[in-house]
Each structure stands twice: as C-alpha cells, then as structure tokens.
Amino acid sequence: MSETIGYDDFAKLDLRVARVIEARPHPNADKLMLLQVDLGDVQKQIVAGIRAHYTPEDLTGKLIVVVNNLAPAMLRGETSNGMLLAATSNEKVILLTVADPECLAGSKIK
C-alpha cells in the first residue's frame, strides 16, 4: 500500500475531464502516443505511454481523466503538459474515461 496522504495533499491535484481531439504516435518513441486534449478553455498536449494498448482511432473523441496541473515534462523531444489517468489490470492498460456524454470537457473532478 502507498503512503497515506491528507486531504490537503489530494486537493493539490487539479483533476479534470478532457476530450481527446487528436492522437498520433510519437515520432521518436515506440511506446508513446501524443494526445491533443480539450479542457474547455484551453487545449494541451499530453504524452502517454499507451501506444501498445490503444490506436489513435480508439482515443479520438474519448472523455478521459487528466492531472491538469502537473509540471510540464519533456519526453523524447515532445512536451507533455499533464498526465492521463489509467489503471493496469493484468498486463492491460485501461484509460479512466467518463461515460456520460453530458459531462463537459474541463469539468473538475473532486
């Protein structure tokens, strides 16, 4: 089990619903995918290690959950401005998605 944190630590995370508007393979990394996501008021690029589990067609249009306030990171020459949330079950990576189509991109998760 991971270290227990208090609510104040959890509250530092800005979890948001994001709509994937474009997905494409990273040109310099076999395991990475470049995602352009819409957060309602802004669009961002997220680099994610999900290429072995999803195709760009699988991702486009999906409502996913992202950490919106993660510090930018350079991954194989591309800037990632957030992190998507996913579960690992056996050896499969499963994106956390929002099933209700009425949920708007940018909605805050609490």
Give the C-alpha distances (Å, rounded to integers) separating 78 from 5, 35, 69, 107: 31, 11, 18, 26
Could you tell me if residue 86 is inside a domain?
A: yes
Which pTM was predicted? 0.92
Query: Domain range spanning residue 24?
Result: 7-109
Question: How far apart (Å, rounded) are the C-alpha atoms in residues 85 and 14?
Answer: 12
| Overall domain count for the chain | 1
Q: Is the per-residue pLDDT at 101 higher than 90? A: no
pLDDT of residue 1: 82
**C-alpha 18 chain-centroid distance:** 8
Q: Is the residue at 1 inside a domain?
A: no
Look at residue 2 and tell me if it is in a domain. no
**Domain contains 20:** yes
The structure tokens 């944190």 sit at 5
* Confidence at 70, pLDDT banded by 50, 70, 90: very high
Residue 37 covered by a domain: yes
Q: What is the rounded distance in angstroms from the CA atom of residue 23 to the CA atom of residue 56?
A: 5
Q: For 36-55, write each residue's pLDDT tens digit.
A: 999 999 999 999 999 999 99
Give residue 88's region: left, alpha or beta (phi > 0; psi -120 to 50).
Answer: beta
CATH number at 59 reads 2.40.50.140
Please check whether residue 11 lies inside any domain of the structure.
Answer: yes
- What average pLDDT does the structure give for the chain? 95
Query: Closest by alpha carbon to 56, among 100, 27, 30, 24?
Result: 24
**Is 65 among the domain residues?**
yes
Give domain status of residue 105, yes or no. yes
